[in-house]
Structure 1
Amino acid sequence: MDPILVFCLPAIGDFIRCHSAIRVIAEKFPGHPIDLITSPVAAPLARLMPHVRTAWVLEKGYLQLGLGKRIQLARRLREQNYRACYLLSSSTKAALVPWLACIRERIGYPRELQFGLINRLPAGWLKSLMAFGPRKTRLFEQVCAIAMMGEKPVDGMRLPPPQMVISPEELSAWRVRHGIDAARPVLALYTSEFSNFRSWPAERFISVAADHARRGWSVWIVGGPREREAAAQIRAALPEAVDFTSTPQITDAMCQIAASTVFLGVDGGIAHAAAALGGRCVLIFGSNRSYETGPVNDQVRYVEPPISTPSWIEDTRDVSEERVLQALADAVAQTRPQGV
């Protein structure tokens, strides 16, 4: 069967949300291989996504025009005989690649007036083009709309949430390599930068971590370069905490999250990964942000400022430590999802 290509978004959180559209496409075209195009940072996650055969990487040209890189990639894609390309990114730069690759159907919204580069438009494309100001739909709904060719979901239909899967064998091998005791409970922390308005005050993260450490839990700090300063601050107060922020491979970070008992994090790409992996998640969000930008997976518990807090206050200072501890206890008490 002819394969299908999906041009995904580059940032980790946005890329993971694109998997909702991939699940829609896989259901519409069972048996057709599905390949992706994304950025170097997101591409390693593709192998954890059901229905995805492979990921093409657009090197150093994803956010810039990078015409030479796009031409090179298009030449390689031309050999694959793709029947269609779904453009989940609405940029002209993205539309250039399948056009140069001579893919017959190039599906997407022409929000940059890239008519011709895109030659199949979802229903309602004109209304979408004329919509000014903030969009009323969440990103995962937008990408699913492209996959569904603009058709509205029937009453009662639930759009599929993103999903990533790590096999029990891979997770067991990771634990063995790092000497992890599978019987000891683990609290995984994702802080972002403490200076970021999306984060939570450092002293509250430290207090929650210390509370769990006193009760015999391991505390792991996950993330990347942006979280290293925060990790150092937590470890200065709690030396037994494990700093995983220097992990070289993002798929190792996924193993860290999947091996934890519960994940506590803030708004960011790693939070979307934790949710898609299916484990217990408690996420701290600013006012009214969880609906717009948060993961849509059922097992996620949100802790947000009180409803009386003005919606334009986006930081998390009004989220109390007591509410977070209770949310963590409730999450741990719930039945662990199957397959995790």
Structure 2
Amino acid sequence: MSPILVVSFPAIGDFIRSHSAIQIIAEKFPGRPIDVVTSSIAAPLADLMPHVRKSWTLNKKKRQLGLADRRRLAHELRAENYGTAYLLTNTAKAAFIPWLAHIPERIGYPREFQFGLLNRFPADWWRQLPLLGERHPRLYEEVCAVATLASADVPVAGWPAPKLVLSPERLEEWRRRSGLDQTKPVLALYASAFEDRRAWPIERFISVAADRVKRGWSVWIIGAAREREAARTIRSAVPEVVDLTSTPQLIDAMCQIAASTAFLGVDGGPAHAAAALDVPTLLIFRANHAFEGCPVNRGVRFVEPPISTPSRIASTLGISADQVLEALEDTLRTANRARGAGGYSS
């Protein structure tokens, strides 16, 4: 049977969230291999996604059509004889890829009026055109609607949550070469960059890190280059904290998260990875952003500013360190109960 191509998102978090759609497609067409298109940054995660055979890479270029790169990729794709392409990202630039590759069935929302580039649409496509829909659906709903062709009112609870799977052998190999103390429970912290509007005040992350260290935990700071300044600030106040923001390989960062007892952070790619890896996860959100951005995985909890926070304060300032520590304890208790009942595993 002809393989299927899924044109997904370049950002790590959005790419992980697209796995819900991939699972739906795999269930509908169990005999057809599924490949994905994403950025070179996110592509290593395809190896951890059930039902994905392989990935193709196309790096995002802001304000550029990148037609030459898309032609080169399309030329490579033609040799694979894909029968169907699902466009999870609804840009005209993305729609050029399966069209240039001569893939006969090209499914997606024509939000940028890609009629001709796309030739099959979800049942509610006309509602999703600019200014016509009651609201823009969140990404989770949208990718599942593309995968199901929005042919029925499927409740969100009926759609699969994203999943990343690290083999025990791969995780054990990482443990052996990491050199990290893994005799204690571990809190993975993702603080993001200072200038990120999703960030939480760094002094409150310091309070949480100090609390965990005092309780006998290890604290690992997860991230990459843009998180390094925050990591240095936290370590200067709590020297016992381990800075892992210079980890060169994305899969090693996934191992760090998977080996953690719990994950605490703000919205971002590592947060979605922790949820998909089935790690007990507590996330900090700005007011009115949790519904849209929070992972749908079981075992995820979030905190956000109280409803009395003035709407003009579009930040996480209304969330105290004590509130987060209390929510973290509750997250751990819930995870322990679930493990004891056989319903949750990290």
State whether TM-score is above 0.5: yes
Partner amino acid, structure 2, of 1:105: E
Any idea what SS the aligned residue of 1:253 has?
A: helix
Per the TM alignment, residue 156 of structure 1 is displaced from its structure 2 partner at its CA by: 7.9
Number of the residue aligned with 2:266: 266
Asked whether the 8 Å contact 1:288–1:311 carries over to 2, the reply is no
Which piece of structure 1 moves more, 32-41 or 126-135?
126-135
Per the TM alignment, residue 250 of structure 1 is displaced from its structure 2 partner at its CA by: 1.1
**Separation in structure 2 between the aligned mates of residue 239 and residue 157 of structure 1, nearest angstrom:** 43
CA offsets per residue over residues 286-320 of structure 1, 9 Å max, x none?
A: 11111011211121111111122244532111111
**Separation in structure 1 between the aligned mates of residue 329 and residue 240 of structure 2, nearest angstrom:** 21
**Separation in structure 1 between the aligned mates of residue 35 and residue 12 of structure 2, nearest angstrom:** 17
**Separation in structure 2 between the aligned mates of residue 109 and residue 300 of structure 1, nearest angstrom:** 29
Any idea what SS the aligned residue of 1:117 has?
A: coil
Partner amino acid, structure 2, of 1:49: M
Q: 1:156 to 1:137 in 2, by over 3 A?
A: closer
**Separation in structure 2 between the aligned mates of residue 134 and residue 204 of structure 1, nearest angstrom:** 38
Trace 1:113-132 onto structure 2 (pairs within 5 A). Answer: 113-132=113-132
Asked whether the 8 Å contact 2:306–2:318 carries over to 1, the reply is yes
Q: State the TM-score, normalized to the length of structure 2.
A: 0.93
Q: 1:190 to 1:116 in 2, by over 3 A?
A: same
Asked whether the 8 Å contact 1:287–1:310 carries over to 2, the reply is no
Number of the residue aligned with 1:206: 206
Number of the residue aligned with 1:74: 74
Query: Does 1:185 find its partner at 2:182?
Result: no
Per the TM alignment, residue 207 of structure 1 is displaced from its structure 2 partner at its CA by: 1.1
Identity of aligned residues (%): 60
Number of the residue aligned with 1:38: 38
Per the TM alignment, residue 181 of structure 1 is displaced from its structure 2 partner at its CA by: 3.9
**Separation in structure 2 between the aligned mates of residue 180 and residue 227 of structure 1, nearest angstrom:** 20
Per the TM alignment, residue 154 of structure 1 is displaced from its structure 2 partner at its CA by: 3.8
Asked whether the 8 Å contact 2:10–2:60 carries over to 1, the reply is no
**Separation in structure 2 between the aligned mates of residue 88 and residue 139 of structure 1, nearest angstrom:** 9
**Separation in structure 2 between the aligned mates of residue 157 and residue 231 of structure 1, nearest angstrom:** 37
Per the TM alignment, residue 322 of structure 1 is displaced from its structure 2 partner at its CA by: 1.2
Trace 1:28-107 onto structure 2 (pairs within 5 A). Answer: 28-59=28-59, 61=61, 64-107=64-107
Number of the residue aligned with 1:318: 318
**Separation in structure 2 between the aligned mates of residue 256 and residue 2 of structure 1, nearest angstrom:** 37
Trace 1:110-149 onto structure 2 (pairs within 5 A). Answer: 110-132=110-132, 135-149=135-149
Partner amino acid, structure 2, of 1:198: R
CA offsets per residue over residues 92-111 of structure 1, 9 Å max, x none?
A: 11111111110010111111
Any idea what SS the aligned residue of 2:313 has?
A: coil
CA offsets per residue over residues 123-149 of structure 1, 9 Å max, x none?
A: 121121153588342111001101111
Any idea what SS the aligned residue of 1:152 has?
A: coil
Number of the residue aligned with 2:166: 166
Per the TM alignment, residue 244 of structure 1 is displaced from its structure 2 partner at its CA by: 0.5
**Separation in structure 1 between the aligned mates of residue 36 and residue 62 of structure 2, nearest angstrom:** 13
Which piece of structure 1 moves more, 195-204 or 129-138?
129-138
Asked whether the 8 Å contact 1:192–1:266 carries over to 2, the reply is yes
Which piece of structure 1 moves more, 79-88 or 293-302?
293-302
CA offsets per residue over residues 11-45 of structure 1, 9 Å max, x none?
A: 11111111111111111111211000011111111
CA offsets per residue over residues 263-307 of structure 1, 9 Å max, x none?
A: 010011211111111111010111111101121112111111112
Q: State the TM-score, normalized to the length of structure 1.
A: 0.95
Which piece of structure 1 moves more, 133-142 or 238-247?
133-142
Which piece of structure 1 moves more, 149-158 or 244-253?
149-158
Per the TM alignment, residue 325 of structure 1 is displaced from its structure 2 partner at its CA by: 0.8
**Separation in structure 1 between the aligned mates of residue 54 and residue 61 of structure 2, nearest angstrom:** 19
* Runs (5+) with no aligned partner, structure 2: none
Any idea what SS the aligned residue of 2:264 has?
A: strand
Per the TM alignment, residue 3 of structure 1 is displaced from its structure 2 partner at its CA by: 0.7
**Separation in structure 2 between the aligned mates of residue 300 and residue 338 of structure 1, nearest angstrom:** 12
Q: 1:312 to 1:151 in 2, by over 3 A?
A: farther
Asked whether the 8 Å contact 1:61–1:70 carries over to 2, the reply is no
**Separation in structure 1 between the aligned mates of residue 162 and residue 134 of structure 2, nearest angstrom:** 23
Any idea what SS the aligned residue of 2:275 has?
A: helix
**Separation in structure 2 between the aligned mates of residue 155 and residue 243 of structure 1, nearest angstrom:** 41
Q: 1:238 to 1:12 in 2, by over 3 A?
A: same
**Separation in structure 1 between the aligned mates of residue 154 and residue 12 of structure 2, nearest angstrom:** 30
Query: Does 1:2 find its partner at 2:7?
Result: no
**Separation in structure 1 between the aligned mates of residue 181 and residue 23 of structure 2, nearest angstrom:** 35
Asked whether the 8 Å contact 1:61–1:67 carries over to 2, the reply is no
Asked whether the 8 Å contact 1:82–1:103 carries over to 2, the reply is yes
Any idea what SS the aligned residue of 1:220 has?
A: strand
* Runs (5+) with no aligned partner, structure 1: none
Number of the residue aligned with 2:281: 281
Trace 1:230-309 onto structure 2 (pairs within 5 A). Answer: 230-309=230-309
Q: 1:176 to 1:279 in 2, by over 3 A?
A: same
Give me the CA root mean square deviation: 1.8
